[in-house]
Structure 1
Amino acid sequence: MEAWHLFFAAIVVVLTPFLRLILFRGGIDDQERGRLPPGPPAVPLLGSTVWLTSSLHDPVTLFQRLVARHGPIISLRFASQLLVIVADRRLAHAALVERGVSLADRPAVESARHLGVGLGDCSDKLITTTSYGPVWRLLRRNLVSEMLHSSRFRLFAPARAWTRRVLVDKLREHEHGDGAAPSDVVEAFHYAVFCLFLLMCFGERLDEATVRALTAAERDLVLYTSSNMAVFAFFPAVTKHLFRGRLQRMHALQWRLKELFLPLINSRREYKKQCGEPRKESTFEHSYVDTLLDIKLPEDGNRALTDDEMVNLCSEFLNAGTDTTSTALQWIMAELVKNPSIQSKLYEEIKSKTGDGGEVSEEDIHGMPYLKAVVLEGLRKHPPGHMLVPHRAAEDMEVGGYLIPKGATVNFMVAEMGRDEEEWEKPMEFIPERFLAGGDGEEVDVTGSKAIRMMPFGAGRRICPGLNMAMLHLEYFVAVMVREFKWKEVAGDEVDFTEKREFTTVMAKPLRARLVPRRTHFG
């Protein structure tokens, strides 16, 4: 049992004589309390009692259990914070789209303010977590217009072509004459995608040693944060003393990342001073850092971003793009390994566009409806994130006849909506045809603007701004891998779809496959 479980068990022992007298739902009156979504009982300080018997590492399982018991919208306490969890697609649309402004804000991370961890005090300058307002609009507009707009996005076509070669070369490193299974295809996915986002972020093709160092620093920080820092949401003024070792480790990880990022940021700063004169073949003319160096914050005296703020924004850019994309690729390729007939059908579509010996181009994939159906089906059945980044109610609002009070944290069960058997035929089967003409997903809009049936990218005002980029990357890299290799299941090491929660929801048993080249060389 973890130390914090013992800590809270001790609190329960002390409070036991009072529990029956002080059961409550929070600082609201009886009339409002009766309008809240149903949920488990709560006690002062501790919040809903179910937390005492549940792991903070796997809240989704707890939410599934409570939704099955109480219905598609529930409320529970996490310390002093009211959480509302929505598992129904219609209620999600009502909250995120119809009442989008009311849920466009993010909850304050109280623990970060108390802890003052390293670079964590810059969390109000991240697109993902900053409050809805001028700073968020400025940062998001910069990302969309300067990196994700079609005119800018096309600049990185050579980078994607280069990444294609990196990916296939990494997969070929594990290829043997007998077609033996590579031990780490997932690592190849992550490495290649991370290379692409590093190039987009810093405008430079980096050598493998540098990429490996950056990958390790980024993943160590992300995984440590997701698996070890949740405890500070409870009484941070106390837990920051009890778990001082975790904070020290967090400091070290953050400063390591800063040490690696700052030279790359400074190099780009010098490049801009030279008016963008190419220094070497590996230097690209545009990067995310370029745009960050140009930002001024009107709300803060028109100042430029600090180095710490730029480090955090670069880290956000890399994490948001790399982990979600590489995770989705793993799930999609696992389904193609498990379903060889689907893989064959997809290969025939790809070959019809590229010819017997041709390579996949970005132009080719726009004419591949089955490829898009395969990707959409992968995102429906295996969304990389089973929950969204939390939202905060900016005002009292009513959803499904229940009150969501101002200040409540609201989240949505993404995987439950995509797997709802009332909305999808055979939801736990991988059927790309459902997204073709006549299928039950034919009219699905992943933006959720008209209706929500699946929302791997979220919905409403805080929808993922990189939606179109993510779809292009997934379609492109899936097509490349199926074009170059026949992916076969390994006898004795079959595909296992058991899930594991990390920063994203990954395969608990990483994908292994026997790769058989379809061509004798790759240009």
Structure 2
Amino acid sequence: MDVSNQKDAALIFTVTIVVISWFIWVLKKSKKGSVPLPPGPRGLPLLGNLPFLEPDLHHYLRKLYGIYGPIFKLQLGRKVVVVLSSPSMAKEVLKDHDTTFANHDVLAAATIATYGGSDIVWSPYGPDWRMLRRVCIQELLNNASLDAGRALRRKEVLQALADLYARIGSPVDVGEKITETIFNTMSSTLWGASLKGEEAATVASEFRHVMGEMTVVIGQPNISDLFPFLTRFDIQGVQRKTRRLMSWFDRIFVSILEQRMKKEGVTGEVKEPKDFLDILLKLKEKADPKTPLTMIHVKALLLDMVAGGVDTSSTTLEWAIAEMMHKPETLKKAQEELDAVVGKDHILEDYHTSNLPFLDAVVKETLRLHPPNVFLIPHTNSETRVVGGYTVPKGSGVYVNVWAIQRDPSVWDNPSDFDPERFLNANATGIKWDYRGNDFRYFPFGSGRRICPGIPLAERSVNYVLGSLLHTFNWQLPKGTKMDLADKFGGVIKKLNPIVAIPTPRLSNPEIYSHILKEVQ
């Protein structure tokens, strides 16, 4: 080898060593500077943590929070799920990076259950979602529309009181009666008197059964969501079950729409809206061609309102009564407030509820301990983001564990105690606890762009129904039974065992009950 070739070989060797050294340095530097994924339990190959999930998922994730801290991850098949369990973590996702996390983590069953994701809950963040939210906030749930439905709500509540009066001294399944009452109250507001008498009672009873099945089906882990390439095989039959349940809802909506169209005339325009359905049909006729409100949207919005409103409101009411019967001094105080504001010689009216701060505190405390959706509706991120010092990969499922946050001893004094006074005391010190999601210690309905739009309707209905049940009747457990507060996971956290209680009259004038009966006849 001549000198020139030796020099070339030496140069190539030197350059090679430099390049390799540079790549090694860059690689080490990039690893050193990279933001790690959140901590979490080890899983199995392919399946990840899926085999280790426990049926009561809210208790299981709270236990993991105690081990790994306020942000941790689970690997569920091919899906990364990040769980957030502190106010600061929730704020980063729902406020600081709200736009990035504005989409909900769409599930195969939820897509089927909402006419292909055509509703406000599962619709992707964009023009259609903004149109649907505008319809809900500005047209359906404004004060004028809610005030217009006051007489309809009053009629349904009086009917429930009349039904209970007919069962004085007999055991009543409180949860079942509450569900029927809330369903009738919501449905009257949504579509008026399209269903009447026995048909309405039958539909309300079936609704509780079907909605119970639906929340379980949507809430359970689905292989199709964890391994998307298996969706078409529907291995667990989740999609098939959801289609069967959805057919029941669709039959009801089609029947209601057909009745309304016949009443108004197929081509006739709704001129004087009397309920939400009238408003929606009128908006449909005047829809913007770029983002039209279609009949599918109408049915999807009705489903959102009735399914979301009835299930969460009735569950909240059942928990409120259970907690007060378990702690009788709170029940006594609520009834004393009702007597002072309404009187024992009158029935509660909708407008009284704004003057019942302790009753309002009872509802708020119930929602602290038993938020309707313990993880909210799972979010997902359109871009990779750093949250709490950890990388949350694009497309992750993000669970905001509001149930754990609202029971955290570092945030709340005696967090397991049912104590409505904490909200009265907070108001006295200038802290404003409300449902707007601005304080990440208490946000039972979510926060940010995807906060629940049905809060105004739910707030009016829940406070009015609860106050009416407590003011009109005393409630006692059958002899030999005790109130238990065990719960079960199924999307919405319900009581494990239903409340069976005996109503007795508590108003001073028996003629009031006769007046109620006359009004509903």
- TM-score normalised by structure 2 residue count: 0.83
Are 1:385 and 2:373 counterparts?
yes
- 1:367, distance to aligned residue in structure 2 (A): 1.4
Change in Cα spacing, 1:33 to 1:386, as seen in structure 2 (3 Å) is farther
What pairs up with 1:104-119 in 2 under 5 angstroms? 104-109=102-107
Q: Distance in 1 between matches of 2:86 and 2:429?
A: 17
Shift of 1:418: 1.3
Contact 1:349 1:368 survives alignment (8 Å): yes
Deviation at 1:498, TM superposition (A): 0.2
- The question of whether the paired residues in 2 share the 8 Å contact of 1:336 and 1:487 is answered with no
Alpha-carbon distance in structure 2 between the residues aligned to 1:188 and 1:504:
18
Contact residue 106 and residue 131 of structure 1 kept, 8 A: yes
Alpha-carbon contact 2:253-2:299 (below 8 Å) kept: yes
Q: Which amino acid aligns with 1:85?
A: V
Task: Measure, in 1, the Cα distance between the counterparts of 2:480 and 2:310.
Answer: 30
Report matched runs for 1:368-407 at 5 Å: 368-407=356-395
How far apart are 1:269 and its partner, in Å? 2.9
Cα separation, 2, equivalents of 1:342 and 1:173: 27
What's the counterpart of residue 192 of structure 1? Answer: 181
Per-residue CA deviation, residues 272-294 of structure 1 (Å, 9 max, x unaligned), is 4455589xxxxx72223541562
Q: Does the aligned pair in 2 maintain the 1:35–1:403 contact within 8 Å?
A: yes
Aligned twin of 1:261:
253
- 1:18 — aligned with what? none
User: What is the RMSD of the two structures over their aligned residues, measured on CA atoms?
Assistant: 2.9
1:330 deviates by 0.4
Q: What percentage of aligned pairs have identical amino acids?
A: 25
Contact 2:437 2:451 in 1 (8 A): no
SS class of match (1:516): strand
1:54-203 matched pairs, under 5 angstroms: 54-55=53-54, 57-109=55-107, 122-176=115-169, 180-182=170-172, 184-203=173-192
Tell me if the contact between 2:438 and 2:447 (Cα under 8 Å) persists in the aligned partners.
no
Pair 1:340–1:43, CA change in 2 (3 A): closer
Q: Partners of 2:276 and 2:317 in 1: how far apart? A: 25
Q: Whole-Å Cα distance in 2 between the matches of residues 80 and 296 of structure 1?
A: 44
C-alpha deviations, 1:103-147, integer Å up to 9, x for none?
21122435777xxx5x65x33211011111110110111011121
1:474 counterpart letter in structure 2: V
- Residue 19 of structure 2 corresponds to none
Aligned length: 477
* Counterpart mapping for 1:272-351 below 5 A: 272-273=264-265, 274=268, 276=270, 285-288=274-277, 290-292=279-281, 294-295=283-284, 303-306=292-295, 308-351=296-339
> What whole-Å deviation, never above 9, does each CA across 1:82-104 have from its counterpart, x for those lacking one?
11111112221222123222221
Q: C-alpha displacement at 1:315, in angstroms?
A: 1.6
Contact 1:103 1:393 in 2 (8 A): yes
Cα distance in 2 for residues equivalent to 1:106 and 1:196: 29
The CA distance in 1 between the partners of 2:211 and 2:228, in whole Å, is 20
Mapped partners of 2:217, 2:424: distance in 1? 43
Q: SS of the counterpart of 2:103? A: coil
- What are the Cα deviations for residues 355-394 of structure 1, in whole angstroms up to 9, with x where unaligned? 2301111222211211111111111112222121011112
**Cα contact 1:447–1:463 (8 A) shared by 2:** no
Q: CA deviation at 1:246?
A: 5.4
Greater RCO structure (CA 8 Å; 6+ sep): 2
Which of 201, 206, 216 is the aligned partner of 1:227? 216
Corresponding residue SS for 2:504: strand
Contact preservation (8 Å) 1:269, 1:293: no
Q: Which amino acid aligns with 1:453?
A: R
Per the normalisation by structure 1, the TM-score is 0.83
Q: What pairs with 1:201-240 in structure 2 (closer than 5 Å)?
A: 201-204=190-193, 206-215=195-204, 218-228=207-217, 230-231=221-222, 232-235=224-227, 237-238=229-230, 240=232
Deviations 1:415-443 (A, max 9, x none): 11111111211111111111113579962
For 1:28-63, what per-residue CA distance to the aligned partner results, in whole angstroms no more than 9, with x for missing partners?
x966985221112355642x2x211324x5432331
Distance 1:369 1:75, change over 3 A: same
Q: Residues 434 and 440 of structure 1 are in contact (CA less than 8 Å); yes or no, is this contact kept in structure 2?
A: no
* Residue 38 (structure 2) aligns with: 37
Extract unaligned runs of 5+ from structure 2.
1-29, 517-521
Per the alignment, do residues 125 and 425 of structure 1 end up closer, same or farther by CA in structure 2, a change over 3 Å counting?
Answer: same
2:502 partner letter: R
Kindly tell me: are residues 30 and 64 of structure 1, through their superposed partners in 2, closer, same or farther at Cα, counting changes over 3 Å?
Answer: farther
